A and B are shown apart, each in its own frame.
Chain A
């Protein structure tokens, strides 16, 4: 059974950067895209981007292009999401999600709070 274990909650100031990690286990890490999805308070799910763990190539939703960096470490089967230039409305729960044609396995979520 696939498991996704994310790093803990963080509080950041506006303009700062944050990195969230997602340690995976129980499946072949390089066989499935690793996506990042967020949910702001009172809002729905929002796809941010994905990385192909095999090639390292990333795709992003247009609104996150240039502000999000996705990386992975195949030796530890861990994926990372860095979000730069944090704004108040980046306050959200961030999920890592693996899957092929859908989002099958979800991490527990990481709350990122942006506050001055």
Chain B
């Protein structure tokens, strides 16, 4: 199972919106609505931001939103803030019964 494809880096200025793509295939992202996104700051544990493509866990800001079209999922961060600077990972369920992460996208706030 190959990792999902994410851009290595994305940048934006404070207040702007950015979108991170995550491309898979028909047996992972395209198969089920089981895509999640994680924020990972250095020396911290990853944090769940989005699950089931576009749902928020309790306590996560609505500035983070998710979507999916075909074999590609996306995470949009609105009103970018300095604290959003981190590495972001997508993750998808893979038929029949495993999971795969994307390679990670480093977000830089200019």
**A50 neighbours in B (Cβ, 8 Å):** 99
Q: Does A107 count as interface, using CB distance less than 8 angstroms?
A: yes
**B1 neighbours in A (Cβ, 8 Å):** 61-62
Interface residues, chain A, with chain B CB atoms under 8 Å away: 35, 37, 44-47, 49-50, 59-62, 95, 99, 101-104, 106-109
Task: Please tell me the number of chain B residues within 8 Å of chain A, measured between CB atoms.
Answer: 24
Give the interface SS of chain A, mostly helix, strand, loop or mixed.
strand
Distance in angstroms between the alpha carbons of A62 and B93 in the assembled complex: 14
Distance in angstroms between the alpha carbons of A50 and B101 in the assembled complex: 14
Q: Can you pick out 26 interface pairs between chain A and chain B where the beta carbons lie within 8 Å of each other?
A: A44-B3, A44-B89, A44-B101, A45-B89, A46-B101, A47-B99, A47-B101, A50-B99, A61-B1, A61-B98, A61-B99, A62-B1, A62-B98, A95-B45, A101-B52, A102-B34, A102-B36, A102-B57, A102-B91, A103-B36, A103-B38, A103-B46, A103-B48, A104-B51, A106-B45, A106-B46
